[in-house]
């Protein structure tokens, strides 16, 4: 496909891979570790990449893979996971990203995949393409020496220290049980485990290699570091399938000698602040979006998840970037939805980016309505829509891509 200025878009071939890696390193300002380079094609096959080429040089790139992602109600949906979206600094703001996304969406639509997802480098770029932030992560810092569990908090035990090399099967097995419960979490391909288990230096940020705690229903991967005269443990991955595992693992993390601070990522509903006597000690340093989602097929996506309450509603969904959208009747009984295009007039209007932000249950419809991003016929319609879409479990990204 030819763009203006003689730039063309085409599918990548294996021989493009070194140039694609170089472009990503230039654009993201880092160098991959060898193990990442060796495993990227296993995660994101190069022949699925789209490249923009100017005078024989690759100046733009996007790639995707199909992911199995959990939705509210513990069902799954297929999603196109987009990665490494890059445009050379010499070719910015000429519409290359826009062209790459137009082509990416056309391919996803042709494959009939109802959702696309990615992790965004900036918050202002992707709303125009129909994406909305769809999970929330809170980066917390805990003054370990002051943290005490409330009297009466269970102490389930069962945690062991372990070597990473001896824990691969346990970690894989627990992750898989966890992701089946957690909206937004993806099945994890072997190539991603290979990278994690190699523990590349780039991931360490000057800290130690990974330490491991295991529990029959959970695990923690963390690193240790001296920082600003403090001994810090930074949790790289915390997965607990049960509340017992959650408490047991936190009890060990917060009882380590010679440790001043624990840093971790929590979802909004993580009970940790309420397990300790002083909830302020679980101090939120930053709060950010984990994954951005975009519904490609409204009926398929909306009928894949379950809902909290019955609902009969007609939505007008605006999707100008794809020249799609329209009116959809959504009927929910006992949690199960039927959704189809309809000629009936709308009860509620919203953009595809907002519907996508609501999809996994991280955000509430009433909040978007307060921000003038949802227009409802009357307050009762908004309340019913808000109740039905609310999730029972906070969504979370499973593995970063
Ligand atoms: C982000 C990036 C891919 C944009 O590529 P680009 O070809 O310059 O983007 P386009 O010219 O197609 O711009 C598309 C639209 O997005 C807007 N846009 C692009 N980058 C933006 C930015 N950083 N902040 C705000 N808006 C941005 C443009 O203004 C344009 O708006 P419009 O078409 O509605 O007028 C490129 O700057 C890049 O590679 N950055 C570093 C790596 C990165 O952040 N990648 C994204 C990973 S998720």
**Amino acid 3: pLDDT:** 83
Architecture in CATH for domain 137-289: 3-Layer(aba) Sandwich (3.40)
Q: Which of 282, 285, 270, 274 is nearest to 144 (CA)?
A: 282
Model confidence band, residue 130 (pLDDT cutoffs 50, 70, 90):
very high
- Nearest atom in ligand 1 to the alpha carbon of residue 120 is 48
For 184, residues 6+ apart whose C-beta sits below 8 A from its C-beta are 69, 70, 134, 135, 290, 291, 360, 362, 395, 396, 397, 398
Distance CA 8, CA 272 (A): 52
Between residues 147 and 1, the one the model is more confident about:
147
Residue 179 φ/ψ, nearest 5 degrees = -70, -25
Domain ranges of the chain: 4-113, 137-289, 297-389
SS3 236: strand
E strands in 292-335: 292-295, 311-319, 324-333
Mean pLDDT computed over 190-197: 98
What's the count of helices (H) and strands (E) in the chain, helices before strands?
Answer: 11, 19
- Nearest atom in ligand 1 to the alpha carbon of residue 86 is 39
Q: Let me know: does 203 contact 32? Beta carbons within 8 Å.
A: no
**Amino acid 162: pLDDT:** 98
Mean pLDDT of the chain: 97
Mean pLDDT computed over 285-301: 97
Ligand 1 pocket test: which of 96, 102, 125 has the largest number of ligand atoms within 8 Å of its C-beta? 125
Share of the chain above pLDDT 90, in %: 98
Q: Let me know: does 84 contact 308? Beta carbons within 8 Å.
A: no
Cβ–Cβ contacts within 10 Å for residue 5, how many? 10
Model confidence band, residue 4 (pLDDT cutoffs 50, 70, 90):
confident
The CATH superfamily assigned to 297-389 is SCP2 sterol-binding domain (3.30.1050.10)
Q: H helices within 29-95, ranges in order?
A: 34-43
The CATH superfamily assigned to 4-113 is Gcn5-related N-acetyltransferase (GNAT) (3.40.630.30)
Domains 4-113 and 297-389 share a fold: no
Task: Tell me the pLDDT tens digit for each residue of 81-129.
Answer: 999 999 999 999 999 999 999 999 999 999 999 999 999 999 999 999 9
pLDDT at 383 > cutoff 90:
yes
**Amino acid 1: pLDDT:** 82
Mean pLDDT computed over 340-344: 98
- Nearest atom in ligand 1 to the alpha carbon of residue 88 is 39
pLDDT at 5 > cutoff 90:
no
- Nearest atom in ligand 1 to the alpha carbon of residue 119 is 48
**Amino acid 2: pLDDT:** 82
Share of the chain above pLDDT 70, in %: 100
Question: What is the Å distance from ligand 1's center to 18 Cα?
Answer: 23
- Nearest atom in ligand 1 to the alpha carbon of residue 93 is 11
Distance CA 276, CA 295 (A): 39
Question: What is the Å distance from ligand 1's center to 28 Cα?
Answer: 13
**Is the CB of residue 96 below 6 angstroms from any atom belonging to ligand 1?**
yes
Cβ–Cβ contacts within 10 Å for residue 250, how many? 27
Residue nearest to atom 4 of ligand 1 (CA): 97
Question: What is the Å distance from ligand 1's center to 91 Cα?
Answer: 11
Task: Tell me the pLDDT tens digit for each residue of 153-168.
Answer: 999 999 999 999 999 9
**Is the CB of residue 29 below 6 angstroms from any atom belonging to ligand 1?**
no
């Amino acid at each position: 496909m030819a763009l203006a200025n003689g730039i063309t878009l085409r599918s990548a071939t294996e021989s493009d891979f070194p140039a694609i890696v170089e472009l990503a390193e230039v654009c993201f300002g880092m160098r991959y570790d060898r193990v990442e380079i060796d495993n990227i094609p296993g995660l994101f096959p190069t022949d699925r990449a789209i490249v923009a080429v100017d005078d024989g040089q690759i100046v733009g790139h996007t790639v995707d893979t199909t992911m199995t992602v959990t939705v509210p109600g513990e069902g799954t949906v297929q999603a196109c996971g987009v990665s490494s979206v890059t445009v050379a600094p010499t070719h910015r703001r000429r519409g290359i990203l826009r062209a790459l996304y137009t082509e990416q969406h056309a391919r996803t639509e042709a494959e009939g995949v109802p959702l696309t997802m990615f992790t965004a480098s900036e918050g202002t770029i992707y709303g125009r393409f129909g994406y909305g932030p769809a999970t929330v992560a809170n980066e917390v810092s805990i003054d370990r020496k002051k943290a005490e569990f409330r009297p009466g908090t269970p102490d389930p035990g069962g945690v062991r220290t372990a070597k990473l090399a001896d824990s691969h099967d346990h970690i894989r097995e627990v992750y898989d049980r966890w992701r089946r419960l957690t909206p937004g979490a993806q099945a994890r391909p072997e190539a991603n485990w290979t990278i994690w288990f190699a523990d590349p230096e780039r991931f360490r940020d000057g800290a130690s290699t990974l330490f491991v705690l295991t529990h029959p229903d959970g695990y923690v991967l963390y690193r240790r570091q001296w920082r600003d005269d403090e001994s810090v443990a930074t949790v790289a991955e915390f997965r607990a399938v049960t509340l017992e595992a959650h408490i047991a693992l936190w009890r060990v993390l917060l009882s380590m000698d010679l440790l001043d601070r624990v840093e971790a990522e929590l979802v909004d509903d993580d009970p940790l602040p309420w397990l300790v006597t002083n909830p302020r000690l679980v101090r939120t340093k930053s709060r950010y979006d984990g994954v951005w989602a975009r519904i490609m097929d409204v009926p398929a996506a909306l009928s894949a998840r379950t809902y909290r309450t019955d609902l009969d509603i007609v939505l007008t969904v605006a999707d100008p970037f794809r020249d799609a959208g329209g009116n959809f009747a959504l009927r929910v009984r006992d949690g199960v939805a039927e959704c189809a295009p309809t000629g009936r007039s709308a009860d509620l209007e919203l953009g595809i980016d907002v519907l996508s932000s609501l999809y996994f249950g991280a955000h509430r419809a009433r909040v978007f309505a307060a921000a003038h991003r949802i227009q409802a016929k009357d307050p009762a319609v908004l309340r019913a829509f808000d109740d039905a879409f609310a999730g029972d479990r906070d969504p979370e990204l499973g593995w970063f891509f």
